[in-house]
Structure 1
Amino acid sequence: MAEAVRPVQPAGIQVTDAAAAERLVAETLTTMRELEILLGRESDHIRVGRLAEGLAEAPQKTALAGAYLRGLQAVKANAVALARFAPEGIAALRDAHGRFSEVVAANQAVLATARSVSEGLLRNLSTELTRSAEPKGYGTRPAPSPYGHRRSAPLVLSRSL
């Protein structure tokens, strides 16, 4: 399993020297890298159908995402000081953020595909259940529903899969 999340400095910090600027950049980059790795693992699991494993690190993902956003807020709040004390850090953050955005987009595409496939499976299952509940004899029809659609057997969904 993954390590405990190290909190990033709060957004209210003021960078007043080069050491603080470098520390803020390093902590933000570290958090971004850890979140990128976790998103990659999640995507890999979900891509091959291991949904439980893919979603098992959701609390860690939430904590890292929060730490990342706090880091970005601190970077934005100290943009002038960072430009003065750590201009190469700003360039590193821009590059890392570009790569990170691609990983997030890929992760979102995998999650959307898994959601779409799941919905399609449930829709097909419901259709099959409705079809199998229809009478097969001659001249017999089920009683009409007061809501204008055919009655079907209840569908049970297990969210623990």
Structure 2
Amino acid sequence: MTLFHRKGYDGVGVAEIGEALGIRPPSFYAAFGSKAGLFRRALALYARGEANVFATALAEGGDVVTVIARMFRVAAGIYAVPGCAAGCLVLDGTRNSVDAEARAITTEAKAASRAAIRDFIAGEYPDRADELAEFATIVLAGMSASARDGDDGAMLARFADKAARAFAREATQSG
């Protein structure tokens, strides 16, 4: 997971993965089937941790505006931690990848995340859930890309606050 996060899917070879895991290619393929099979498992593990910024924000409860604002702040706090891989593995792990299977895996994970956010928003704003979920997920993608480009946590935190205010305005405006 760490290798994929730091280097992106295409930047990591099977030999490097095998070395990190302490196994040879035959054992690697027996265990995971393929590099994409391991990547799918790595993303599942990643999504069960604090990197799932929506689940982390939702766990504390609150209304839609509160939870989404918290989600932006959580993302700002983890996307640019010094000494760690920047950004989000799901959002940026296959950016510009030539591997269609790997891109499909992240596309599936992004769709599931957007659906979870959309379903939560629909509880309070059913008529605007799709557009508000789109807003929220695009903000997260931009924050992840910004962190990958080297922007620091302070900048992301300032942006998260502005994005939260913009989301609140969008959510509470009529039609």
| Shared fold, TM over 0.5 | no
**Higher radius of gyration, 1 or 2:** 1
* TM-score, structure 1 normalization: 0.39
* TM-score, structure 2 normalization: 0.37
